[in-house]
Amino acid sequence: MILPIVAYGHPVLRQETEEIEAMTPEIKQLISDMHETMYNARGVGLAAPQIGKAIRLFIIDASPFAEEEAENEEEAKENEFLKDFKRVFINPIIEEESGDEWAFEEGCLSIPGIREDVYRQEKVVISYYDEKFELKEETLTGFAARVVQHEYDHIEGILFTDHISGFKKRMIK
């Protein structure tokens, strides 16, 4: 089922999120509905607060980034990784962020039509439970790290617009 995506200004987008205690039939259905919602909106990630749920859950399918034309061998490797980068993150914790910050124009399904350059670090180490409620830890770089940081921000009550200058924020409002 396609769920409504809450828009900028809705209080749930700034709310503290709660941990998920166990994989239940309701959480499984929510994950399925979130995938359907994300694909319908042509997104690459969706966090539970964006559909009105203040829980620590987000999903990612970064395969659309894999379609970008690679300009070198490093980009070709990243595209190959992104082709299969589809994950469910339950109760995630970013353990570490490192590397140089780099800019990329980000957008958000909860703030349609707005895109701005956001600086994020190039590498993250994240622990989380997957859709089988098995504990995982991954080190991610490049676009995978960026999308994870963006979606993780949502479960922390942070929007991508919080990362841009005050002047640009005023223009968006």
CA distances for 94 relative to 6, 17, 46, 65, 82, angstroms: 25, 15, 17, 22, 19
Q: Which residue has the tokens 């987008």?
A: 13
151 catalytic residue (yes or no):
yes
How far apart are the C-alpha atoms of 45 and 31, rounded to whole Å?
12
From the candidates 73, 134, 151, 156, give the one annotated as an active-site residue. 151
What stretch of H or E contains 126?
strand 111-129
Phi, psi of 163 (to 5 degrees): -95, 0
Q: Can you say whether residue 142 is alpha, beta or left, with left for phi > 0 and alpha for psi between -120 and 50 degrees?
A: left
Q: What is the dihedral of CA 17, 20, 24, 25, to 10 degrees?
A: 20
- Give catalytic residues, as residue numbers: 151
